[in-house]
Amino acid sequence: MISLQGITKHFGAHTVFKDIDLSLSQGEIIVIIGPSGTGKSTLLRCINFLEKPDAGRLQVGDLKVDTQRASRADILALRRRTAFVFQNYGLFANKTALDNISEGMIVVDKLPKAKAHARAREILERIGLADKADAYPASLSGGQQQRVGIGRAMAANADVILFDEPTSSLDPQWVEEVLGLMKQLAVERQTMIVVTHEMQFAREVADQVVFMDEGGIVEQAPPEELFTAPKDERTRHFLRKILAPTGQAVP
């Protein structure tokens, strides 16, 4: 169970969002959509404290954190329960695919090296990169790098994986393999929050779609509802703009 209560974030005088409430149960998949600059990335980053929220409470599993009183230990604990997949992969350039995946298990979870490597090999198998164990990120395609990025998040064994536009930096030919892997995780009921512009993916995979616009969450609904009968005019406007060029049905 993951819940956000009253999460607020300012950058200087600019309030990105205020009083965000969001909760999901284990195995639930939430997709967040919305125009650029509305704070989707910032919200995900607040969940694992890459940004410090300015107000609110977070709960992940049995860990409850008042963001204004979070100690260093709270922050580390929170980060261990949440894994992040970045738009630009963020792979460790000095480590092979295998080591990128096993690094957290060795350093953070303190698993013995042999065990961590064995688990990392299993994960490489699942992400379809068993033959790339010894490859450095620089020699992998964008799609392969992002799959390693997802593998690293899987290795964290977190309660939730946060995806921030995982396919936005990819050349079009690699998008499908990454979305495919995410769908596979969805089938396994991996809890996740995904920020994406891939509406088809949202339709297929999301349990709930959240539409964010200036200052917060405008509406939240299951995909069939949000995509066909959005309640708010801003949602309709956004969906028309983003769906029309792709030939998908417009509300």
Partner 1 sequence: MLNLEYMWGLLPVLLSYLPLTLQMATIAMVFALILACLLAVVRVSRVPVLNGLSLLFISFFRGTPLLVQLFLFYYGLPQVISSLIAITGVTAAVLGLTLHFSAYMAESIRAAIVGIDRSQTEAALSIGMTQSQLMRRIILPQATRVATPTLMNYFIDMIKATSLAFTLGVTELMGATQKEAAGSFLYLEAFLLVALIYWVIVEMLSWGQRRLEIYLNKAYQR
Ligand X SMILES: Nc1ncnc2c1ncn2[C@@H]1O[C@H](COP(=O)(O)OP(=O)(O)OP(=O)(O)O)[C@@H](O)[C@H]1O
Cα 167 from Cα 164, distance rounded (Å): 9
Q: In what order do the strands lie in the sheet with 14-24?
A: 14-24, 2-11, 55-60, 63-66
With CB under 6 A as the contact rule, which of the stretches 31-39, 116-124, 180-188, 202-210 interacts with ligand X? 31-39
Residue 18 Cβ vs partner 1, minimum distance, rounded to whole Å: 24
Nearer to Mg ion, 5 or 169 (CB): 169
Binds partner 1 by CB under 8 A, chosen from 156, 178, 218, 226: 156
Q: Residue 20's closest CA among 215, 211, 197? A: 215
With binding defined as CB under 6 A, does residue 112 bind ligand X?
no
Nearer to ligand X, 165 or 177 (CB): 165
DSSP label of 98: H
Nearer to Mg ion, 4 or 111 (CB): 4
Binds Mg ion by CB under 5 A, chosen from 38, 41, 48, 145: 41
**Region 54-73 residues binding ligand X, contact defined as CB under 6 A:** none
Cβ neighbours, 10 Å, residue 92: 13
The beta strands (E) that lie in the chain are given as: 2-11, 14-24, 29-33, 55-60, 63-66, 82-85, 160-164, 192-195, 208-213, 216-221
Which does residue 108 touch among Mg ion, partner 1, ligand X, none (CB within 5 to 8 A, set by kind)? Answer: partner 1
Which does residue 152 touch among ligand X, partner 1, Mg ion, none (CB within 5 to 8 A, set by kind)? Answer: partner 1
Q: What amino acid is encoded at 40 in this protein?
A: K
Q: Residue 204's closest CA among 229, 187, 216? A: 187
With binding defined as CB under 5 A, does residue 38 bind Mg ion?
no
Cβ neighbours, 10 Å, residue 142: 18
The site for partner 1 (CB under 8 A) is made up of: 48, 50, 76-77, 79-80, 82-84, 86, 88-96, 103-104, 107-108, 134-139, 149, 152-153, 156
The site for ligand X (CB under 6 A) is made up of: 11, 16, 36-42
